[in-house]
Structure 1
Amino acid sequence: MNSLGIDKDPKDTRVVVAMSGGVDSSVVACLLKEEGYDVIGVTLQLYDHGIALEKKGACCAGQDIYDARMVADRFGFPHYVLDYESRFKQDVMEDFADSYMRGETPIPCVRCNQKVKFKDMLAMAKDLGADVMATGHYVQRIDGPNGPELHRAFDDSKDQTYFLFTTTPEQLDFLRFPLGGLPKTETRQIAERMSLSVADKPDSQDICFVPDGSYARVVERLRPGALDQGDIVHLDGTVLGQHDGIIKYTVGQRRGIGVGGTADPLYVIRLDAEKKQVVVGPKEALSRDVILVSELNWLGDPLNDLGRKVSVKIRSASKPSEATIYPEGQGLGMGGARVVLHEPQFGISPGQAAVFYDGNRVLGGGWIVSTQKQPLPEEEAQGAA
């Protein structure tokens, strides 16, 4: 059994490495080549450079394709560039724009993994005769009693499991993540030892097709009218001002709302896309303890009506919160669920993901479609009276 868990010699094991042009995937490809594997590097050209407005330093842009090719040439393995612009625009960019138009806060990197990288690219890897596909993600794939499991990375500060919650058991069986057990500092040291040109290349921070964080400009180009004006309305119905596009706001936002003059700080409570309203109010109005999710991808033992206690992350940078998850499919699309938080949370935004953990193991995740606030016991009693 070789280091990738395949019962072959490394030289007889073909590995397709998804190369973004960054230091992580470059190190993966070169480490595997160094071990003697039959490595093929593949880079996807994903987005329309006109829409990207010449963004520099983004994943899958011109410079990154060049960097990946230089690494492959130096270490002597084949490298292919595949044009996936059309698929990426349809499945990721269009979805991104539509989500904002619905008043949501989308995560296009997850859709890219779900719809492009771990679907089309993985199928292509199999067409090339690969035994496995490797990536530079900081997650761990651990063989469990019922097959491979997805676990958090050794380096908690770099863990990317939140962005890979849509990975299916079949995909996980074919995927490998060689960096999952390493701290990022060691990855950089390996790159320096190998004298890789990308050893000091900074990590990409922004959405690849969004120039300088100006996502509103991209959405407006894809959806003319996205910056239509509307009212900023208090929960009590008072119109406080005007906005120039609900896509510039997100649930839980406090700064930059554009209105003031109240005794207490105002927060964005919800976005009404149909009425083009930004609804604001006090922080306590953001409190929610029930989350409804759709498209649940479940990697644990089957759920039942008794529910299962889990830890849940509702934002990529948030700490997990304790909750109980129940299956609930009606009206939520395929594989819906109802998540009851043990303690209320603030600023939960539709369009984000709820990702469920048991310790370090990822049990699954789904897309947040709505939130609720359970009534207090005394409120239920008053309602019954």
Structure 2
Amino acid sequence: MRILAAMSGGVDSAVAAARAVEAGHDVVGVHLALSRAGGTLRTGSRGCCTIEDAMDARRAADRLGIPFYVWDFSERFRDDVIEDFVSEYKAGRTPNPCMRCNERIKFAALLERAVELGFDAVCTGHYASLVETPDGLELHRASDAAKDQSYVLGVLTAEQLAHTYFPLGATPSKALVRAEAESRGLSVAHKPDSHDICFIPDGDTRGWLAERVGAETGDIVDASGAVVGSHDGAHAYTVGQRRGLRLGVPAPDGKPRFVLEVRPVTNTVVVGPKDALAIGEISGERFSWAGRAPEAAELRCDVQIRAHADPVPARAEVRDGSVTVWPETPFEGVAPGQTAVLYDGTRVVGQFTIDRTVSALPAATLSAGV
């Protein structure tokens, strides 16, 4: 096959490209320039896609003896990922930029160009597995549960899966990938992983958003509507947050309070006890299926609401253009804008963006402030 290897400059994508070469494929490396004003150097393990990362990717490609190019996707990344991130926060939702990047950049814009240029598949260093079955291609969790990235790939469609290649899916551990990189003479063998939002490399999401959304003071209220504090910008708060609330009125029971809701229209943050974070129902209209769609309108599945959250057994229903999920045990701290990924065992069934949440507590209990 003709393979386009997306090389981020990290160890995973370098080893994935090496395995594609070793498997006998015709491989070309490409690094995506996602910012025209990126920092020259990384800071520890923060960020990715910097000039230094591009240089690391080129050195890896040279070591593998494959052609290498840098493609400027900065404008598309700005419009489809960064602007989406800002607009979601303005609307009081909590977005996942990695999901949007996979959906709109790596497996849409990049894959579209790759196919146009005659490549059969895009190779990445994601930890996930593709399984060929009589019913078609399926996306599954990786062998290494600690590194599994199937959650952030849940946005891929059947057509996109048909043109993807994940060489690391069956690797038992990241340590083995690093050891392999060292044995192949790849200079990125011990390069630290990136853990932050790539376009906020210093990790100060609150400050970054304040510059773009604005910081207007407002009230922090409890579930009954009583003012218990103030904030310098609702965008800086996320559902489930406990630290940094600076509440002037203690809870009647003396227990900590958490962010329950962000209301951008009124610039209000709602707080309450930990029990009030329990969510008994989630739903969303923006959904897609990873491979074949479910045959029935109702299905039993496991649902994961964060990249590293434990999956929760649930019942899901597809009706009237939306997906609704009822977990067997309540989710905790779910915010609109997050992505829910549905699993059947290790197989990714599909995903949806959460538009609505319903508390697991009775309405009367919530209105009383618990």
Task: Please report the TM-score for the alignment, with normalisation by the length of structure 2.
Answer: 0.92
* Deviations, residues 311-336 of structure 1 (Å, cap 9, x unaligned): 0011111101111111134xxxxx42
Whether the aligned pair in 2 keeps the contact of 1:94 and 1:222 (CA below 8 Å) is no
* Deviations, residues 264-304 of structure 1 (Å, cap 9, x unaligned): 21111101110000111112222211101221112344354
Partner residue of 1:302?
294
* Deviations, residues 334-385 of structure 1 (Å, cap 9, x unaligned): x421111112222111111110111100011111111013676x99xxxxxx
- Note the C-alpha offset of 1:48: 4.1
Counting only pairs closer than 5 Å after superposition, residues 270-349 of structure 1 correspond to structure 2 as: 270-299=261-290, 300-302=292-294, 304-305=296-297, 307-329=298-320, 335-349=321-335
Matching residue within 328, 340, 351 for 2:337: 351
Counting only pairs closer than 5 Å after superposition, residues 186-197 of structure 1 correspond to structure 2 as: 186-197=176-187
Whether the aligned pair in 1 keeps the contact of 2:338 and 2:354 (CA below 8 Å) is yes
Partner residue of 1:156?
145
- Note the C-alpha offset of 1:69: 0.7
Matching residue within 81, 85, 94 for 1:92: 81
Partner residue of 1:4?
none
Whether the aligned pair in 2 keeps the contact of 1:166 and 1:365 (CA below 8 Å) is yes
Whether the aligned pair in 1 keeps the contact of 2:6 and 2:31 (CA below 8 Å) is yes
Secondary structure of the structure 2 residue equivalent to 1:112: helix
Whether the aligned pair in 1 keeps the contact of 2:209 and 2:236 (CA below 8 Å) is no
Matching residue within 171, 175, 181 for 2:164: 175
Partner residue of 1:248?
236
* Deviations, residues 117-169 of structure 1 (Å, cap 9, x unaligned): 10110111112321222110000000012111000000000000110111000
- Note the C-alpha offset of 1:31: 2.2
Task: Please report the TM-score for the alignment, with normalisation by the length of structure 1.
Answer: 0.88
Whether the aligned pair in 1 keeps the contact of 2:278 and 2:360 (CA below 8 Å) is no
- Note the C-alpha offset of 1:220: 3.1
Distance 1:54 1:203 in 2: 14
Counting only pairs closer than 5 Å after superposition, residues 53-64 of structure 1 correspond to structure 2 as: 56=43, 57-64=46-53
* Deviations, residues 198-257 of structure 1 (Å, cap 9, x unaligned): 00001111110013211123323333x2x1111111112211121011111111111221
- One-letter code aligned to 1:319: D
- One-letter code aligned to 1:298: W
- Note the C-alpha offset of 1:33: 2.0
Task: Name the % identity.
Answer: 44
* Deviations, residues 92-136 of structure 1 (Å, cap 9, x unaligned): 000001111111111001100101110110111112321222110
Whether the aligned pair in 2 keeps the contact of 1:293 and 1:354 (CA below 8 Å) is no
- One-letter code aligned to 2:22: E
- One-letter code aligned to 1:47: S
Distance 1:244 1:101 in 2: 14
Whether the aligned pair in 2 keeps the contact of 1:55 and 1:210 (CA below 8 Å) is no
Counting only pairs closer than 5 Å after superposition, residues 6-21 of structure 1 correspond to structure 2 as: 13-21=1-9
Partner residue of 1:3?
none
- Note the C-alpha offset of 1:184: 1.2
Partner residue of 1:233?
221
- One-letter code aligned to 1:184: K
Whether the aligned pair in 2 keeps the contact of 1:303 and 1:327 (CA below 8 Å) is no
| Alignment of 1:82 onto 2:71 | yes
- One-letter code aligned to 1:192: E
- Note the C-alpha offset of 1:38: 1.3
- One-letter code aligned to 1:122: L
Secondary structure of the structure 2 residue equivalent to 1:92: helix
Distance 2:109 2:122 in 1: 12
Whether the aligned pair in 2 keeps the contact of 1:291 and 1:340 (CA below 8 Å) is yes
Whether the aligned pair in 1 keeps the contact of 2:278 and 2:361 (CA below 8 Å) is no
- One-letter code aligned to 2:174: K
Q: CA RMSD in A?
A: 2.0
| Alignment of 1:121 onto 2:96 | no
- Note the C-alpha offset of 1:59: 2.0
Secondary structure of the structure 1 residue equivalent to 2:354: strand
Distance 1:62 1:38 in 2: 26
Distance 1:373 1:33 in 2: 51
Higher relative contact order (CA 8 A, sep 6+): 2
- One-letter code aligned to 1:31: R
Distance 2:4 2:331 in 1: 41
Change (3 A) 1:308 1:49: same
Change (3 A) 1:54 1:101: farther
Q: Which runs of 5+ in 1 are unaligned?
A: 1-12, 330-334, 380-385
Matching residue within 347, 355, 359 for 1:361: 347
